[in-house]
Copies of this chain bind each other. A is one copy, B any other.
C-alpha cells in the first residue's frame, strides 16, 4: 500500500459555534428539544440569536463542526490530519479557516464566494451541562463531490465522516465518492451517527452504509444506537451493531464506552472529571482519542481510554474544541502518545 500523507482526514459541515449558557426556560420558550441538534433557517436563527444572552451570559464564539472538532482533537494528540468542509469567504469563514489551520490541520477546501454566509450553530448550554444545538447550515450546503480531492483521500489511513453530511443536499455524494476512493486505495472509512434525530431522518441509509461495507467503523452514543435499531434495549441494539459493522464504538456518557467487533466486546470506563461544564463536543473528542489510538496501532482498551481522556477535557469548559494540548494531557495521565 502507498505511503500515507495523513493519519485521519475528516469530512463534515464547517460550522461556527455561538455558545451561551442559558436556563431551561429558554429552551421551552423557543420550543427546543433538549440535547438534540435541530436544523434551522435564517429567520429562526435570527430569532434565537436575538434572544441569546438575555439575563444570562455573553455568547462565546468559536470554530466547531462535529468532524472538524474530531480532527482538531486528533491533531492536538500529534497525528497528521486534514479536513474538508465548506465555509463562505466572509469574516467568520476566515476565522474558521484560520482556526483549523492553526490547529495543524491541512485545510484546502475552496470557500464559497457567493450564496449563504458561513454556517453557524446556536448552542444553548443549560445549568446541568447539557447542550442543545440549533444549526443554520449556510455555506455548508455548498459542499459537493468536486471538493473531494481523490489524491488526498487515497493518501489518508482513515477517512472520517459525520452523519450530519446527510443534511446538506450534495454532501452525501461527496461522502460516497470519498468512501469509494478510500476503499479502492485500501483505506478505512469511519462514520459517526452524529445525533439521534439525524439517525431518525436517515435510518435506512445509515444501516445500508454499514451492511454494504461503505463504512468500516461506526461511532454512536446510546441514543443514536437505539434510534438506529428502534429499540430501547441497549443489549439488543448492540448485538445488531456487532452483526452490521466490522468495528462499533458506543459511548455511554459517565458509563464509559463499549467497543464491539464480531470477535468480542471491550468495555472501557469514563475518565473522572472535576465538574461538568458543557457537554458540547464530548462525542467528537471521544472519537478523536479513539481514532488516534487506532492509527497508532493501540488496542481497543487503550483507544477507549484516549477517547475518554479527550472527552473529559472538552466537557470541563465551554466549547467543543480542546483548550489544552491533548498530547501533553495524555502524557500527564500516563497514556503515552
Contacts and interface: CB of A to CB of B under 8 A. Distances in A.
B58 A323 contact: yes
A317 B318 contact: yes
Given A91-B90, A92-B91, A103 B58 contact: yes
A180 to B, nearest CB: 32
A57 B91 contact: no
A52 interface: yes
Given A90-B91, A318-B318, A63 B55 contact: no
Contacts of A103: 53-54, 58
Given A50-B98, A102-B50, A61 B58 contact: no
A80 interface: no
A99 interface: yes
A30 to B, nearest CB: 14
Contact of A52 (B49, B92, B102, B117): B102
A56 B325 contact: yes
A125 to B, nearest CB: 9
A49 B98 contact: yes
A59 B64 CA distance: 11
A98 B217 CA distance: 42
A320 to B, nearest CB: 9
A39 interface: no
Range of interface residues on chain A?
35 or more
A104 B63 contact: no
A63 B56 contact: no
Nearest to A64: B58
B61 A62 contact: yes
A324 interface: yes
A60 interface: yes
A110 interface: no
Contacts of A305: none
Given A92-B91, A324-B21, A102 B60 contact: no
A335 interface: no
Contacts of A104: 54-55
A95 interface: yes
Interface string A146-166: 000000000000000000000
A63 B72 contact: no
A138 interface: no
The residue in A53, A321, A324 that gathers the most chain B C-beta atoms within 10 A of its C-beta is: A53
B95 A57 contact: no
A58 B324 contact: no
A90 B90 CA distance: 10
A322 interface: yes
Contacts of A52: 102
Nearest to A69: B58
Given A53-B103, A102-B50, A59 B62 contact: yes
B318 A58 contact: no
Nearest to A18: B95
Given A21-B324, A53-B102, A59-B62, 15 more contacts: A21-B323, A50-B98, A53-B99, A55-B325, A57-B324, A57-B325, A58-B322, A58-B323, A60-B60, A60-B319, A61-B61, A61-B62, A91-B91, A317-B317, A317-B318
